[in-house]
């Protein structure tokens, strides 16, 4: 990439997501062998990337993790070292000369809201923008997944990257390497009600999903019937959730969230922590129609669809030590400038 006549600052931002149903079925080898279905919706909490060209050093700053890496040249961007997602993105999309690459996220690390996938999308967006390369939304998503799972060797599925790259609500189907993208269009009145009545709660305990993913997919590969049955149950719930959202059936959405959560808990004994159990009980007492863990589970966030305004239930869940996060739908995916 030549710097002559180019701007020296590049920005990208991409939304996080709520995985309404079907999560885990986008993860290989299940997604390759049997195909998966996930329904997710992008939210206004976002991952942010800034790239400033100049200086002699390569400086990587992760504000969300509180970590910094400095090196003299690209030889210092080592696999299995500090800031693996950032270094992986730079190995795949190198930038010449010195620069400062800064990342931050509107949600806590390990929240289960797809922050690493969104960050990967924003990284690809910023770096390709700096390199004067133009990618479609699905191509950005695919490149971000490759950066995270192949280059950085962090296991995971593809739903987070597609949610972040595209924005909005989608039914995503997976039969590796192919991804089917089907928009789920919500009635405007229903979308507003769903936003108003959905409560996102951070348990104040982050988690690293990689270990859980390895255990679950290891059990699937060994032919564990309970895990295999749960994965098929999650796939079916994904299809049903797309229908419920299109039908504007809020009660059905709540029921399916809880159904998804039961299947999810069958995947691994550590899926439901003590903090999550307390939070679930508090939300149920406050009138939840249903709820589930966001993302892989085993910590991070849970979200619930309430009978009424979610703000009225916030005080009930606050007693568990959980932190209520703001919610607004994000129709727009990755943005660069």
For residue range 234-279, list pLDDT tens digits in order. 999 999 999 999 999 999 999 999 999 999 999 999 999 999 999 9
The residue that leads in pLDDT, 4 or 335, is 335
Half-sphere exposure of 122 (CA within 13 A, CB side): 28
Pick the CATH number of 188-325 from 3.20.20.105, 3.30.70.890, 3.30.465.10, 3.90.1150.10: 3.30.70.890
pLDDT for 135 beyond 70: yes
Tell me, what's the pLDDT at 4? 58
Which tens digit of pLDDT belongs to each residue from 53-82? Answer: 999 999 999 999 999 999 999 999 999 999
Q: What is the DSSP letter of 312?
A: G
The CA–CA distances, whole Å, from 241 to 24, 161, 249, 251, 255 equal 15, 20, 10, 11, 10
**What local confidence, expressed as pLDDT, does residue 299 receive?**
92
| Domain boundaries along the sequence of the chain | 9-185, 188-325
- pTM for this entry: 0.96
Architecture category of domain 9-185 in CATH: 2-Layer Sandwich (3.30)
Residue 21's nearest CA partner among 202, 218, 241, 244 is 241
CB under 8 A, 24+ apart: contacts of 221-230: 221/29, 226/266, 227/266, 227/267, 229/266, 230/263, 230/264, 230/266, 230/267
Task: Give the mean pLDDT of 298-314.
Answer: 96
């Amino acid at each position: 990439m030549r710097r002559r006549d180019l701007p020296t600052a590049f920005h990208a931002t991409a939304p996080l997501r709520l995985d309404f149903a079907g999560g885990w079925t986008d993860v290989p080898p299940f997604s390759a062998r049997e195909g998966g279905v996930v329904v997710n919706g992008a939210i206004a909490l976002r991952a942010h990337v800034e790239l400033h060209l100049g200086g002699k050093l390569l400086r990587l700053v992760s504000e969300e993790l509180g970590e910094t890496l400095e090196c003299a040249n690209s030889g210092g961007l080592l696999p299995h070292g500090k800031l693996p997602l950032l270094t992986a993105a730079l190995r795949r999309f190198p930038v010449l000369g010195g620069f400062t690459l800064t990342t931050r996220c509107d949600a806590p690390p390990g929240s289960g809201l797809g922050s690493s996938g969104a960050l990967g999308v924003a990284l690809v967006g910023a770096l390709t923008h700096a390199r004067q390369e133009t990618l479609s939304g699905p191509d950005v998503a695919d490149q971000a997944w490759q950066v995270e799972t192949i280059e950085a060797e962090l296991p995971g599925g593809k739903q987070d990257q597609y949610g972040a790259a595209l924005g909005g609500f989608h039914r995503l189907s997976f039969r590796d390497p192919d991804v089917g993208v089907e928009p789920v269009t919500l009635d405007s009145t229903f979308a507003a009600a769903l936003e108003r009545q959905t409560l996102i709660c951070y348990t104040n305990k982050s988690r690293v999903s990689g270990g859980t993913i390895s255990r679950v997919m290891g059990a699937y590969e060994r032919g564990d019937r309970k895990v295999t049955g749960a994965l098929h149950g999650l796939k079916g719930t994904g299809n049903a959730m797309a229908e419920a959202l299109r039908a504007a059936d809020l009660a059905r959405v709540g029921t399916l969230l809880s159904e998804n959560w039961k299947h999810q808990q069958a995947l691994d004994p550590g899926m439901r922590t003590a903090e999550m159990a307390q939070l679930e009980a508090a939300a149920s007492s406050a009138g939840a129609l249903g709820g589930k863990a966001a993302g892989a589970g085993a910590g991070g966030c849970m979200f619930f669809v309430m009978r009424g305004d979610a703000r009225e239930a916030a005080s009930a869940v606050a007693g568990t030590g959980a932190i209520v996060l703001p919610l607004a739908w994000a129709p727009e995916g990755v943005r660069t400038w």
